[in-house]
Amino acid sequence: MPRIGMEPLRRRALIDAAIDAIGERGSLEVTMAEIAGRAGVSPALAHHYFGAKEDLLLATMRHILAELGRDLGEAVTGLEGLARVRAIIAVNFSQKQFRPEIIAAWLAFYVAAQRTPALRRLLRVYARRLHSNLVFALRPLLERDEAERTAEGIAAMIDGLYIRRALKDGPPDAASAIALVEDYVALRTGGLRHG
């Protein structure tokens, strides 16, 4: 007889196991059995909760994006201008986000999005939200076109720093990543460092 309330816990355990497996492998080439084993459940139960492996991987990316969105919402509450931009940058390089297994998952999902329409749509939603959050924060400081261009540059730097981090050994250096992006912001906003 199934235990009541176990489904959310098992789903979360499978998502965490998928993140770990993808992080270790560096790709989405992981099996449902491997993920289930890491989560301490049977492959049949994993299929029961998620269906195909692709469904579990999509749920995993949704989970990563939902956590990022919650953290971002909390970080920017009550902030404007450069303080809001800095908060957006900091969340993207937070200890929860900028860790090896999440970095590997992001890269694997970006690659998979080239051939998986559902992942592509999900990543486009993420990109649009990041862009609109940045433009909103930059509009009091820059003309519309400049705010758009600067937001695009910040997003590209965030993505690029995740890629560069994936190519290095050792723990991620969030402080240097944040400093690089903030230097770019300072250049684009005319050297304004406070706000």
Q: Which residue carries 């959310």 as its tokens?
A: 8
Q: Does 125 have pLDDT greater than 90? A: yes
pLDDT given at position 42: 93
**Model confidence, pTM:** 0.87
Q: What are phi and psi of 53, to 5 degrees?
A: -55, -40
Q: Answer yes or no: are the C-beta atoms of 19 and 101 closer than 8 Å.
A: yes
Q: What is the pLDDT of residues 43-79, one digit of tens each?
A: 999 999 998 888 998 999 999 999 999 999 999 999 9
Helix-strand-coil percent breakdown of the chain, rounded to 5? 75, 0, 25
Q: Does 98 have pLDDT greater than 60? A: yes
pLDDT given at position 4: 61
pLDDT given at position 29: 86
Q: Tokens in use for 119? A: 């992942």
Q: Tokens in use for 136? A: 């909103």
User: 3-class DSSP state for residue 8?
Assistant: helix
Q: What is the pLDDT of residues 10-26, one digit of tens each?
A: 999 999 999 999 988 87
pLDDT given at position 46: 93
User: 3-class DSSP state for residue 54?
Assistant: helix
Q: What is the mean pLDDT of residues 101-110?
A: 88
pLDDT given at position 168: 77
Q: Which domains does the chain possess?
A: 6-188 (1.10.357.10)
Q: What is the pLDDT of residues 147-193, one digit of tens each?
A: 999 999 999 999 999 988 877 777 788 999 999 999 999 999 986 55
Q: How open is the CA angle 142-143-145, to the nearest 5 degrees?
A: 115
Q: Tokens in use for 48? A: 């029961």
Q: Tokens in use for 114? A: 């080239």
Q: Answer yes or no: are the C-beta atoms of 7 and 59 closer than 8 Å.
A: no
Q: Answer yes or no: are the C-beta atoms of 154 and 184 closer than 8 Å.
A: yes
